[in-house]
Amino acid sequence: MKSLLVKQERPGESFSYEIVWKESFSDLGTEVKKLQLPAKKACIVTDSTVAELYLEPVRRELEPLFEKVTVFVFPAGEEHKNLKTVQKLYTHLIEEKFERKDILFALGGGVTGDLTGYGAATYLRGIDFVQVPTTLLAQVDSSI
């Protein structure tokens, strides 16, 4: 495992976050637990291709940490990075009664990261999300 602590300072505020690199999802639960999140619910957002490959190992890591873990799967492809898909994500979160203290996990590539980031920033004026990138592009996007 490799990690990097990123520190941000702006006039009147400072914060930091850790970027963690791993070759598997085996310690994802341990890393998430370190964040000491107040969330009771988590939603894994992923596309149909990534879901087949990685959803179950990630869900197994997260389920012990939250009262409820839901999944939102959308069709794979750049053409699904649009407001219609975000609206479906909102509908899922509303139906599952997600609150501001709950959290989203973006499991996948650049489309998933962008879609989840936008959805998290705009649902209830902003909820937390964690990037779990599965492609090099998503790793680069996540680090910005």
Residue 128: beta bridge partners? Answer: 103
Across 22-26, 56-60, 108-112, 123-127, least confident range: 22-26
pLDDT tens-place string over residues 13-72 = 887 777 777 777 888 888 888 888 889 999 999 999 999 999 999 999 999 999 999 999
What is the per-residue pLDDT for 144? 53
What is the per-residue pLDDT for 143? 62
User: What global pTM score does this model have?
Assistant: 0.88
Question: From CA 23, how far away is CA 119, in angstroms rounded?
Answer: 27
Percent of the chain having pLDDT more than 90?
65
Determine whether domain 37-142 maps to CATH 3.40.50.150: no
Question: From CA 51, how far away is CA 72, in angstroms rounded?
Answer: 10
Please, is 124 exposed, middle or buried when counting C-beta atoms within 10 Å of its C-beta (0-12, 13-18, 19+)?
Answer: middle
Residue 90 has pLDDT above 70, yes or no: yes
User: Is the CB of residue 138 less than 8 Å from the CB of residue 113?
Assistant: yes
Closest to 29 (Cα-Cα) out of 37, 143, 89: 37
